[in-house]
Amino acid sequence: MENFKEIINFIAAPQIMFTALLAVFFFIFPPTDWLYSINRKLGLHKLWTKGGGIFLLVVTLGFFIFGLTDENFRLIVTKADNVPIVGLLFLVIFLLWLCLFQAENNDKRIAEGKGPMEAEDAKEKVLVWPDLVYIELIALVIVSALTLIWAISLPAPLEGPANPTVSPNPSKAPWYFLGLQEMLVYFDPWIAGVLFPTVIIIGFMAIPFIDNNPKGSGYYTFKERKMAISIFLFLWLLLWLFLIMTGTFLRGPNWNFFGPFEYWDIHKVEVLTNINLSELVYMIWQNKALPDNIFIREMYGFAALGIYFGLLPLILAKTVFRKVYDSLGPFRYSVFIVLLLLAVSLPIKMFLRWGFNIKYIVAIPEFFLNI
């Protein structure tokens, strides 16, 4: 049993967990036809059947119930402000299954030429009173009852009075911003805290204009909008929810990683051997002192950035995203690709950190400019 927990603790580390999830992600949610066929071959789509749903339920619930037997797990999961996140986790898994279950169904129907389920339903019109208003009322009462029970059984947290001189360890932002705080591990605050939120907002607003696929409007489908759903789920599940879960449940004192069954030991020491790209290039590879001139010092970093944001879009437009480029045109494509590259920069930076201990690609602390 202890060994199993140890293994889970080990696996839960972002390096492994994230890598593993990323590895299987595009097979489960294939963005391209090729991956889609592999997905079918592997039978991964069976997850979105009733049996798959039960499997998901048993696995997640089973893990959770098993976890509750562990003191450390219980402690973190039942912390008052973390309870909604546990609920969110289950809800998301369930709803993900629900919509993909319907999507699979619809995809089948469409393949058979029947049109989606919703289209059939929509042929018939019903009256708002009582059909809609009444179920709305029922939903309200159920949710009210739920929140009341929640309120009765779980007191709202209230810690000691505010003390600006003693900071709790760890100091965490509200849970819905923990994704951003988790990004702080890999990025400077101006990127994680300002640039990314802005990009997320702009990016979300831009979705209707980038996704110009006319299909899949008003019904659940996967096959008709593989790329869109895959990218969206990648952002929403892996880069947002996963980071929030990590930040909430797996980050302890000094923002050190702690497995779900691990005791939050304030003295835990993690190896911190991060270096900047410039240091890597000059000191480690070339055995030289860092140049005094900032631009010479950081030229490799700037070059990398230039390639990433300048050259890569062009290459992609000619290769992987040729179809996308053709359908979007140059302007929309550049918006799309910049947004996408920014999003992908996060996992890239994560891997650079884990693999090469890279702290910053461009590090100019003189101007608070670290990338």
85 C-beta neighbours (distance < 10 Å), count: 19
Nearer to another protein, 13 or 316 (CB): 13
Looking at residue 45, what DSSP letter applies?
A: G
363-364 and 369-370 beta bridge pairing:
antiparallel
CA distance 105 to 161: 54
Please choose, out of 33-41, 50-58, 113-121, 304-312, the segment that lies near another protein by the rule CB under 8 A. Answer: 113-121
Q: How far is the CB of 28 from another protein (least distance, A)?
A: 15
Q: Is 249 in the site for another protein (CB under 8 A)?
A: no
Judged on CB neighbours under 10 Å (0-12, 13-18, 19+), 163 is exposed
For 213, the token pair is: 């696929």
C-alpha to C-alpha distances, 40 to 27, 30, 43, 332, 352, nearest whole angstrom: 9, 10, 5, 32, 32
For 96, the token pair is: 């993900």
- Estimate to the nearest angstrom the gap between the alpha carbon of 270 and the chain centroid: 24
Q: How far is the CB of 325 from another protein (least distance, A)?
A: 20
Nearer to another protein, 51 or 168 (CB): 168
Q: Is 331 in the site for another protein (CB under 8 A)?
A: no
Q: Is 71 in the site for another protein (CB under 8 A)?
A: no
Q: Is 232 in the site for another protein (CB under 8 A)?
A: yes
Window 131-170: residues binding another protein (CB under 8 A): 131-133, 135-136, 139-140, 143-144, 147-148, 150-152, 154-164, 166-168
Please give the backbone phi and psi of residue 222, each rounded to the nearest 5 degrees, phi first. -115, -45
Nearer to another protein, 238 or 317 (CB): 238
Q: How far is the CB of 213 from another protein (least distance, A)?
A: 8
CB contact at 8 A, 222 and 104 = yes
Query: Residue from 34, 50, 287, 319 that binds another protein (CB under 8 A)?
Result: 287
* Residue 73 CB partners (closer than 8 Å, separation 6+): 67, 260, 261
Window 174-213: residues binding another protein (CB under 8 A): 174-177, 180-181, 188-190, 192-195, 201, 204-205, 207-209, 211, 213
CA distance 24 to 22: 6
Q: How far is the CB of 194 from another protein (least distance, A)?
A: 5
Nearer to another protein, 16 or 139 (CB): 139
Nearer to another protein, 44 or 369 (CB): 369
Q: Is 111 in the site for another protein (CB under 8 A)?
A: no
Window 24-63: residues binding another protein (CB under 8 A): none
For residues 304 to 323, the per-residue mask of contacts with another protein, x marking binding by CB under 8 A and - elsewhere, is --------------------
Query: Residue from 124, 293, 330, 355 that binds another protein (CB under 8 A)?
Result: 124
CA distance 217 to 145: 34
Q: How far is the CB of 173 from another protein (least distance, A)?
A: 4
Q: Is 330 in the site for another protein (CB under 8 A)?
A: no
CA distance 236 to 114: 31
Dihedral sign (CA 87, 232, 172, 199): negative
Please choose, out of 35-43, 60-68, 320-328, 360-368, the segment that lies near another protein by the rule CB under 8 A. Answer: 360-368
Query: Residue from 68, 75, 95, 314 that binds another protein (CB under 8 A)?
Result: 95
Q: Which of 83, 74, 90 is nearest to 262 (CA)?
A: 74
CB contact at 8 A, 284 and 275 = yes
Q: How far is the CB of 315 from another protein (least distance, A)?
A: 28
Query: Residue from 12, 47, 77, 103 that binds another protein (CB under 8 A)?
Result: 103
CA distance 319 to 99: 32
Query: Residue from 65, 267, 293, 331 that binds another protein (CB under 8 A)?
Result: 267
